[in-house]
């Protein structure tokens, strides 16, 4: 792991001002979601994890939204610098210079569209600057069988790195054949960076100021550029949506493996976003999607196809297939589904049951309460051990306002009942099947509103004979 203290006087500069034209999107590229977080989250977290003393993100395109996200997520741990016009990565790095403390020992510059990079990747480039004799600039490199689109690392006859050539500027077959690419992590002193950036010229196919030209600048002065080889898959840049999904697949695979090694059974085909927490012996079946701040407790089972967003599931709870839960909590040993829908602000306590085709919205169920089949329970407070029969509806909305239904402890709501809120069913009361409850039901009372049953003996047989005769009399 990274030695955090060693990067204490290192400033991280993350370039995130570009539009991301190749995404073909109204959303700035670095806000596109990957494993449940905007792209830019990952490089920022890597810098913070590496222990960088300052993290500066260069913003430009869509900067209001990017800044708002960074502030909400990282607070004052991250500063921003503004690149008003996007004139290339070198120009973006220049825009950061004003925000860098003049006493910074070292600057790490990297890109905001590289979500797979980790604190260790940053630390190894920073350390190379210290350990390689006479190195003025250190940079990551890697070899790719298909290097198309990346800047190529050019070396001289002695093997020293002398330049980076962008795809559009490749000048010879030799350059095109080069498979050593620039993943884009650079470490140098602040003074070198400042001098090198000052000398950039837009002499290239795109007419931009390229950050990569600091390499040729160093080599031209006879200064040493040190290369840090890294694994090919870890530093992939995201420029279009195909690359977004490729990087996401790698990231989700890492996340799933981390939980597997921590004692969670995560089946193939489950998707666990960054930020989700799982306890040992939880089982996450195939097709499950866990998002946001979801937490799953020890031994809980999330069966096939469940989708959980910001849900807390306590120990030993079982979510049967295809249940959808959002901003909800599930108590220990509770059972949910199959096909249950817990909408925001629904909280079911330990040992409660919510069964198939039951929808909860802003409803709490106390310990051991049950609603096993076909119900809409909106704006409800359901007491301990209460039983809600099949087909029950809490009529919570009068067209203007929402009202609360209270079912007290141990009450029994017969099937196919409607509770017209606001209404309270007292402790231990019974509501007869098919009742429309419009007034409060006292403790231990029975509420009934249905019509008394009448049986007409022989009526059905007589009716059938009459209808049969009528049909026979019809012209063919
Ligand atoms: C860049 C490198 C390339 C490298 C690749 C690695 C340059 C010139 N090229 O190319 O050598 O192989 O990354 O992924 O640096 N940005 C700004 N302001 C700008 C332009 C870009 O802040 O004016 C930001 C973007 O938001 C993005 C990052 O810089 O996060 C990289 O820009 P991008 O256009 O994606 O560069 P690449 O073509 O991928
Ligand atoms: Ca890129």
Complete domains list, the chain, with CATH: 4-235 (3.90.550.10), 241-447 (2.160.10.10)
* Residue 58 CA, closest ligand 1 atom number: 22
Beta strands in 208-343 (DSSP E): 224-229, 265-266, 271-272, 277-278, 283-284, 289-291, 295-296, 301-302, 307-313, 318-319, 324-330, 335-336, 341-342
Distance CA 53, CA 103 (A): 12
* Residue 86 CA, closest ligand 1 atom number: 23
CA 91 distance to own-chain centroid: 31
The predicted pLDDT at position 313 comes to 99
Task: Tell me which residues are annotated as active site.
Answer: 373
* Residue 60 CA, closest ligand 1 atom number: 22
Which residue puts its alpha carbon closest to atom 19 of ligand 1? Answer: 88
Residues 6+ away with beta carbon under 8 Å from 223: 134, 136, 137, 192
237 Cα–ligand 2 center, Å? 5
Residues 6+ away with beta carbon under 8 Å from 463: none
Q: Are 394 and 425 in contact (CB under 8 A)?
A: no
The predicted pLDDT at position 445 comes to 98
* Residue 17 CA, closest ligand 1 atom number: 22
Round to the nearest angstrom and report the end-to-end CA distance of the chain: 90
Residue 89: nearest ligand to its CA? 1
The predicted pLDDT at position 135 comes to 96
Residue 39: nearest ligand to its CA? 1
Q: Are 52 and 269 in contact (CB under 8 A)?
A: no
Which residue puts its alpha carbon closest to atom 31 of ligand 1? Answer: 111
Residue 30: nearest ligand to its CA? 1
Distance CA 283, CA 263 (A): 9
111 Cα–ligand 1 center, Å? 6
89 Cα–ligand 2 center, Å? 10
* CB-facing half-sphere around the CA of 116: CA atoms within 13 A: 23
Q: Give the binding-site residues of ligand 1, using a 6 Å CB cut-off.
A: 15-18, 58, 60, 83, 86-89, 91-92, 111-114, 150-151, 164, 166, 181-184, 210-212, 237, 239
> By CB neighbour count within 10 A (0-12 exposed, 13-18 middle, 19+ buried), where does 92 fall?
buried
Which residue puts its alpha carbon closest to atom 3 of ligand 1? Answer: 151
The predicted pLDDT at position 1 comes to 47
Give the count of beta carbons closer than 10 Å to the beta carbon of residue 194: 16
- Mean pLDDT by 10-residue block, N- to C-terminus, for the chain (476 residues)? 70 96 96 98 98 97 97 98 97 98 96 96 95 95 92 96 96 92 97 98 96 98 95 84 97 98 98 98 98 98 98 98 98 98 98 98 98 98 98 96 98 98 98 97 97 95 97 92
The residue to mutate among 14, 16, 18, 66, having the most atoms of ligand 1 within 8 angstroms of its beta carbon, is 18
Helix (H, G, I), strand (E, B) or coil at 235: helix
R_g of the chain, CA atoms, integer Å:
32
Q: Which of 2, 8, 7, 12 is nearest to 190 (CA)?
A: 12
């Amino acid at each position: 792991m990274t030695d955090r203290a060693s990067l204490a006087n290192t400033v991280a500069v993350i370039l995130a001002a570009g539009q991301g034209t190749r995404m073909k999107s109204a959303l700035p590229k670095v806000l596109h979601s990957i494993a449940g977080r905007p792209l830019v989250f990952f490089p920022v977290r890597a810098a913070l994890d590496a222990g960088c003393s300052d993290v500066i993100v260069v913003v430009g395109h869509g900067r209001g939204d990017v800044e708002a996200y960074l502030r909400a997520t990282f607070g004052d741990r991250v500063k921003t610098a503004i690149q008003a016009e996007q004139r290339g990565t070198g120009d973006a790095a220049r825009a950061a210079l004003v925000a860098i403390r003049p006493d910074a020992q070292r600057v790490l510059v990297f890109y905001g569209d590289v979500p797979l990079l980790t604190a260790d990747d940053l630390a190894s480039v920073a350390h190379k600057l210290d350990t390689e004799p006479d190195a003025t600039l250190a940079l990551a490199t890697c070899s790719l069988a298909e290097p198309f689109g990346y800047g190529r690392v050019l070396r001289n006859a002695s093997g020293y790195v002398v330049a980076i050539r962008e795809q559009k500027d490749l000048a010879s077959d030799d350059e095109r054949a080069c498979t050593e690419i620039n993943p884009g992590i650079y470490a140098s002193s602040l003074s070198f960076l400042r001098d090198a950036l000052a000398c950039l010229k837009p002499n290239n196919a795109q007419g931009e100021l390229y950050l990569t030209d600091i390499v040729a600048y160093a080599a031209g002065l006879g200064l040493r550029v040190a290369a840090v080889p890294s694994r090919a898959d870890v530093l992939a840049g995201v420029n279009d949506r195909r690359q977004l999904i490729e990087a996401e697949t790698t990231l989700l695979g890492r996340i799933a493996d981390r939980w597997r090694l921590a004692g969670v059974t995560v089946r193939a085909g489950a998707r666990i976003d960054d930020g989700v927490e799982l306890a040992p012996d939880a089982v996450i079946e195939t097709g499950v999607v866990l998002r946001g701040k979801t937490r799953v407790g020890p031994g809980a089972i999330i069966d096939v196809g469940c989708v959980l967003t910001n849900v807390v599931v306590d120990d030993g709870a079982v979510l049967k297939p295809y249940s959808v839960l959002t901003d909800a909590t599930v108590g220990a040993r509770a059972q949910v589904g199959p096909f249950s829908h817990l909408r925001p602000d629904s909280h079911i306590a330990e040992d409660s049951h919510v069964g198939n085709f039951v929808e909860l919205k802003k409803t709490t169920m106390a310990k051991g309460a049950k609603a096993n089949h076909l119900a809409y329970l909106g704006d409800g407070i359901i007491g301990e051990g209460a039983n809600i029969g099949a087909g029950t509806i809490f009529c919570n909305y009068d067209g203007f306002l929402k009202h609360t239904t209270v079912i007290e402890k141990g009450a029994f709501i017969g099937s196919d009942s409607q509770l017209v809120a606001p209404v309270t069913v007292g402790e231990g009361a019974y509501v007869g099947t098919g009742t429309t409850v419009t007034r409060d039901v006292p403790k231990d009372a029975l509420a009934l509103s249905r019509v008394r049953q009448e049986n007409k003996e022989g009526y059905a047989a007589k009716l059938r004979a009459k209808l049969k005769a009528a049909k026979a009399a019809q012209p063919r």
